[in-house]
Structure 1
Amino acid sequence: MKGEAWLFTGTALFFGATTAVYRWLSDDPAGSSALCVSFVMSGLVAAFLWRQYRRGGERPEDRGDAEVPEAAGRRIFFPDRSYFPVLTAAGAALSALGVVQGLWLFLIGFGVLVPGVLGFAFQNLGHPE
């Protein structure tokens, strides 16, 4: 987690410096706003990763002398076959097309998207782990 935190901290610092220089040299408010939003988003990710690193400590991936079995922690159940990814993708595509084509297609896409997302969220409720 520490490596990822440093990566996003560097990205946030880059966007912060770029925003300041761009704002100073340019009168373009759209570019300044986009760079500022990029700085804020990468800063939020960096803050989250630093917080997680402080809470959980080093992971085996952070150490050079770690062994493969050390990383075997909590096991996650993945179903053998699920149609929810296809349903979610189709709903997202129809909703995106509906933004361009009309409200009727967006509503159809949203009607397909909601069961897909709910299926993703609740498909493992019956699993014992």
Structure 2
Amino acid sequence: MKIQGKMFLWLSVFVLAVAILYGVWSKEPAGTTALFLAFGLCVMVGYYLAFTARRVDEMAQDNTEADVADEAGELGFFSPHSWQPLALGVGSALAFLAVAVGWWLLYFSLPVIFIGIFGWVFEYYRGANQNQ
């Protein structure tokens, strides 16, 4: 985490320089304020990461001899043959299309979304995939 803290602190120096130059040249208050706020956010995140790096053990990204796989862990369980994401994708696409075409399309998209959510949540409660 040391390297991330240093990266954010160096980024904050750059954003501060850009904010000062932008403020002097443009004399536009909204963009200048946004850049100074971005500078503040970079300082906060960089300070937090640098401060936290002193408390935790050395991680793989801090070791120059480390491999990419040194910090790899289990990502979780994903259903290999689930059709529910397709139902949610179709229902969501219809719902977003309802914003452009007409709100009446929500009557068709909401049942598809609810069926997809219900099927995804209860996918392993019945049938061949039931946990015993």
What TM-score, normalized to structure 1? 0.54
Q: Deviations over 1:38-78 (max 9, x none)?
A: 32333343234324423323212221233577535566444
Q: Deviations over 1:3-53 (max 9, x none)?
A: 222222211221122112222333112221331233233334323432442
Work out the number of aligned pairs and report it: 124
Tell me the C-alpha RMSD between the 2 structures.
4.6
Find the aligned partners of 2:44 and 2:114 in 1 and give their Cα distance: 28
User: Greater Rg, structure 1 or structure 2?
Assistant: 2
Counterpart of 2:129 in structure 1 is none
Shift of 1:105: 7.2
What TM-score, normalized to structure 2? 0.53
Map 1:59-98 → 2, pairs under 5 A: 59-66=59-66, 70-72=70-72, 76-81=76-81
Unmatched 5+ stretches in structure 1: 124-129
Cα 1:101–1:60 change in 2 (3 A) is same
Counterpart of 1:12 in structure 2 is 12
Unmatched 5+ stretches in structure 2: 124-132
Q: Percent identity?
A: 32
